[in-house]
Amino acid sequence: MKENIEACRKALSCYDLDDNARTVQQKSRDFYWYSPVLKELLDAVCGDFVVAPRNEAEIVDILATCHRHDVPVTVRGAGTGNYGQAMPLAGGAVLHMKHMKNVIAVADDHLIAEPGAVLARVEEAAREKGREIRLFPSTVATATIGGFIAGGSSGIGAVRWGGLRNPANIRRLRLVTMEAEPRILELTGDDIAKAAHAYGVNGVITEVEIPIDPAGDWVDVLIGAEDFNAANRLAFLLGDHPQIALRMLSTFQAPIPERYFGRYQHFTRPGDAAIALIVARDCLPALEEIVAGSGNAAIRFPVDGHAKGQRLPPIHEIAWNHTTLRALKVDDEITYLQMLLPQDDLEGSLRRIEETFGEDLLMHFEFTRFAGRLSAVAMPLVRYQSTEHIELIVETLENGLGLTVFNPHRVTLEEGGMKRTDEAQLQFKRENDPKGLLNPGKMIAFTDPDWRWEKDRIFLFNSEKK
């Protein structure tokens, strides 16, 4: 071990510190392997030790100690992030939030939790008081609330509440800075975007406050449609229908359902495109009527009770990024992309994509809201051949077909989701982590201030504040 790492490790030995090579390697990994490109690139990445704080005071001392010894710190929730987000590219300490897992308070309209609280437990705590959370990723069963806010972007609930960084979806973040004497900051309002989806590069989140709402009685429904365009037309109708309250709305091109839906395959028909929904129980009669009236779709997975004995996973585990996981279980040559197609020309864009890529690119949409407008975000499954081939597909989609790709085969904030430098986050990092020790290598602009994404491109998050 290098001298500074060894000195730091010794200074932190009073805490829950683990330097067993196997544990350190295990806790230095996330779902980076989802991307064959990142798998090759990041396979050797490993921290030097794992330290698990029990409270905020310990975090303050751990960060001050690491700062003194110039040791990088990468925060880890559950390690379900996809882009090597929680991987310590420069080694050093992995700050594992496993002990800080309490839901601190559930009030009428908000909930306060420690960052390591698993989202399923957070939802359960809300439900114990007749409330529910607004958004969760399809990894809700294992992912932490801190990791979701720092690394995630959207998920179940987005069809109603939009993406995670919408001002309505996070109320307050408390975080510790990486300085000689770490400060404790409380972020509210627009300032939240300085730490939300920042991969933990500008402070360690120690407390989260989110809004909660009266709990719904939700049921899972799977609809088969004659083709993907019919599925999307029906999805848009349902998503904005005044009689239908939804928590999730997803569509899938054939043959995704019959090939990859696991135990839900039982409910699909060959050639079916599909719509997966989480819908309010009292909207079911209206749903049945609308689907029957559409003429080219039918409910395949009858709601509740009818599937007794099937031991089905919750339907969100075929949607969002679980679609890729399902496909990978069947075919390890599958990977994925994230895209935004022009909403006023979805069918034209889909036709051009199909003509260009055929079955090498199969479409899957997740429905969300941008500024209140129901919109489809594309998460297509792609057949992987090589890194060069993936780059060529992205190049063809962007420059040949004029579409927007948020490349999940990238480790940095700018090249993946943001497609730009977030000036507010960059400035915040300079103030909170002047030595650049938090999750190094994830924010290009910090090390290369002249880095620029091409002008006039669409970006996902609109939080720029000078």
Q: Which residues bind ligand FAD (CB under 6 A)?
A: 30-31, 74-82, 85-86, 97, 115, 137-139, 143-144, 146-148, 150-155, 199-200, 204-205, 320-322, 325, 439
- Write down the least CB distance from residue 454 to ligand FAD, Å: 25
Closer by beta carbon to ligand FAD, 115 or else 294: 115
Helix or strand (DSSP H, E) at 29: none
Instruction: Name the minimum Å distance from CB 136 to ligand FAD.
Output: 8
Identify the helix (H) or strand (E) that includes residue 264. none
Closest approach, Cβ 448 to ligand FAD, in A, equals 20
Cβ-contact 365, 341 below 8 angstroms: no
Give the side-chain half-sphere CA count within 13 A for 119. Answer: 24
* One-letter amino acid of 285: P
CB 231 within 8 A of CB 297: yes
Q: How far is the CB of 148 from ligand FAD (least distance, A)?
A: 3
Structure tokens at 239: 């998503």
Q: Which lies closer to ligand FAD via its Cβ, residue 77 or residue 162?
A: 77
Name 130's Cβ contacts closer than 8 Å, sequence gap at least 6.
Answer: 214, 215
* Smallest distance from ligand FAD to CB 294, Å: 27
CA 124, CA 63: separation in Å to the nearest integer?
32
Residues 6+ apart with CB under 8 A from 20: none
Taking the complex as a whole, how short is the minimal distance between the CB of residue 337 and ligand FAD, in angstroms?
Answer: 15
Whether 439 and 432 have beta carbons less than 8 Å apart is answered as: no
Alpha-helical segments (H) within 358-454? 387-395, 423-432, 444-447
CB of 367 to ligand FAD, least distance (A): 13
Tell me whether residue 204 or residue 362 sits nearer to ligand FAD (CB atom).
204
**Strand locations in 101-217, DSSP E?**
103-106, 110-113, 131-133, 172-176, 184-188, 204-214
Residues 63 and 73: beta-carbon distance below 8 Å: yes
Nearer to ligand FAD, 294 or 321 (CB): 321
To the nearest whole angstrom, how small is the minimum distance from the Cβ of residue 423 to ligand FAD?
A: 20
Closest contact distance (angstroms) between CB of 175 and ligand FAD is 7
Q: Which residue has the tokens 């993936």?
A: 390
Q: Map residue 268 onto helix, strand or coil.
A: coil
* Nearer Cβ to ligand FAD (230/257): 257
Whole-angstrom distance, CA of residue 428 vs CA of residue 288: 50
Q: How many Å apart are CA 152 and CA 143, to the nearest integer?
A: 10
Among residues 27 and 233, whose Cβ is nearest to ligand FAD? Answer: 27
User: Nearest 5°: phi and psi at 30?
Assistant: -130, -150
Nearer to ligand FAD, 187 or 222 (CB): 187
Q: In this structure, are residues 225 and 273 in contact, taking their beta carbons and an 8 Å threshold?
A: yes
By C-beta, is 199 or 428 nearer to ligand FAD?
199
Closest residue to ligand FAD using C-beta atoms:
147
**Closer CB to ligand FAD, 243 or 447, in the complex:** 447
